[in-house]
């Protein structure tokens, strides 16, 4: 599997993502520029990643301008053909703005930017400690969409405490149903607000993010930097 990381004006987590994939996860990575219009030598076995940051300065809305970039047209076509796409934080916002994932990301319920470690869990996983850093990370969708997400097992991660308990206190941004990450119905487009790429090295004191990449992409050979 090859990973492509899209760089938008205002991206600030692209280097974090590239470093985590290359150094900590031992994966092949290609940098992709927002103004390019194709994905050369990418197959549906590969993955395109939209990293965190403030694409186009978050003007209008987070991700609202980035969705119209030439590269996003190529990413949309790639996803429609079955290619894997993963959006983290601002990347998640872009995927929702582009209609590749349902729902929207609203301002945090406390109306403040939040930067800290939180715990999330999947349907069959133990709690994982993953950092967040966002001001507009409160996932919201209509009741119909939420019902569809639940019925199709599209909710990948929910906020919880260190013991796996789900409560309002463990929900950092007020996301509906405590949702931290989702996928599309065909399970090839993924989005989440927490930053797994910031938790892949023991040098940083946290390797829980490796489990996120392994769960989503079934990575085999993974070495941990010590």
Query: Which among 65, 75, 62 has a CA at the least distance from the CA of 4?
Result: 75
Catalytic residue among 97, 136, 160, 197: 197
Catalytic residue among 34, 134, 178, 195: 195
Q: What φ, ψ does residue 197 adopt, rounded to 5°?
A: -70, -15
Please answer whether residues 132 and 175 qualify as being in contact, where contact means their C-beta atoms are separated by less than 8 angstroms: no
The counts of H helices and E strands in the chain are 5, 11
89 a catalytic residue: yes
195 a catalytic residue: yes
Catalytic residue among 89, 96, 160, 183: 89
Please answer whether residues 210 and 220 qualify as being in contact, where contact means their C-beta atoms are separated by less than 8 angstroms: no
What would the two tokens of residue 120 be?
Answer: 């999330």
158, β-bridge pairs = 121, 179
Q: What is the DSSP string of 153-178?
A: T-EEEEEE-TTS---GGG-SS--GGG
131, β-bridge pairs = 117
Catalytic residues: 89, 195, 197
């Amino acid at each position: 599997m090859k990973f492509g990381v899209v760089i938008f004006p205002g991206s600030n987590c692209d280097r974090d993502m590239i470093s985590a994939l290359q150094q900590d996860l031992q994966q092949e990575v290609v940098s992709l520029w927002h103004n390019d219009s194709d994905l050369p030598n990418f197959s549906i076995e590969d993955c395109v990643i939209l990293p965190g940051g403030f694409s186009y300065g978050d003007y209008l809305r987070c991700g609202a301008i980035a969705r119209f970039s030439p590269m996003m047209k190529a990413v949309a076509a790639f996803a429609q053909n079955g290619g894997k796409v993963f959006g983290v934080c601002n990347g998640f916002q872009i995927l929702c703005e582009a209609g590749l994932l349902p729902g929207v990301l609203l301002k945090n319920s406390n109306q403040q930017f939040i930067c800290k470690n939180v715990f999330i869990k999947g349907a069959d996983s133990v709690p994982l400690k993953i950092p967040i850093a966002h001001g507009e990370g409160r996932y919201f969708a209509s009741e119909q969409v939420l019902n569809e997400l639940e019925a199709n097992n599209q909710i990948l991660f929910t906020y919880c405490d260190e013991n796996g308990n789900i409560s309002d206190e463990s929900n950092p941004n007020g996301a509906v149903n405590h949702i931290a990450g989702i996928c599309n119905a065909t399970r090839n487009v993924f989005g989440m607000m927490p930053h797994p790429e910031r938790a892949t090295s023991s040098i940083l004191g946290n390797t829980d993010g490796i489990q996120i990449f392994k769960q989503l992409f079934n990575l085999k050979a993974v070495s941990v930097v010590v």
